[in-house]
Amino acid sequence: MNRIRATAVAATLLSAFLVAPTWAQTETPRFDQRQANQEQRIDRATSTGSLTEREAARLEKGQDRLDKMEDKATADGTVTKKERARLEHGADVQSRHIARQAHDGQRDRNQDGKNDRRQVRKNKQ
Ligand SMILES: [Ca+2]
Ligand SMILES: [Ca+2]
């Protein structure tokens, strides 16, 4: 009984050793989580009108670019420290873009697809 249990423990340890390095090389859980958070921020800001459709579309392109960067970094089976740093930097930049676009003067509060400010100007004429 003890011997069987010891073998099972050894097998578990061995498989952990075999699996862990592969996981560490290609997985980017921190970056993936940041991407998910930013996706949520874009969706939320779009539904409140802080982001116009155009702003949201541009930011979505930024998200796609980051996904492609990740694909490129993982393609060879290893995400190096440098690649990881580049991904984190890209996410930092994207985060600033989202904040800036969500707090600028371009809004679409009534969700008609038009920039509110531009509409106000048009109404004045
Ligand atoms: Ca790589
Ligand atoms: Ca905006």
More confident residue, 82 or 10: 82
Tokens of residue 39, six digits: 């996706």
pLDDT score, position 17: 57
Domain count for the chain: 1
For residue 74, the CA-to-ligand 2 centroid distance in Å is: 33
Classified as helix, coil or strand, 28 is coil
Under the banding of pLDDT at 50, 70 and 90, the label for residue 10 is: low
Tell me the CA–centroid distance for residue 88 and ligand 1, in Å. Answer: 14
- What confidence tens digit (pLDDT) does each residue in 20-60 have? 555 568 999 999 999 999 999 999 999 999 999 999 999 99
Q: Which residues surround ligand 2, an ion (CB under 5 A)?
A: 101, 104, 106
By residue range, what is the domain housing residue 92? 2-124
Alpha carbon of 73 to ligand 1 centroid (Å)? 4
Distance CA(52)–CA(109), nearest Å, equals 8
- Please give the distance, rounded to the nearest whole angstrom, from the Cα atom of residue 87 to the centre of ligand 2: 25
Ligand 1 geometric centre to CA of 111 (Å): 41
Say which residues have a Cβ less than 8 Å from residue 101's Cβ, sequence separation at least 6: 45, 50, 51, 55, 58, 59
What is the mean predicted confidence (pLDDT) over 3-27? Answer: 65
Residue 51 Cα to ligand 2 middle (Å): 4
Q: How far apart are CA 55 and CA 98, in angstroms?
A: 9
Helix or strand or coil: residue 80? coil
Ligand 1 centroid – CA 21 distance (Å)? 15
Question: Is residue 35 within 8 Å of residue 91, measured between CB atoms?
Answer: yes
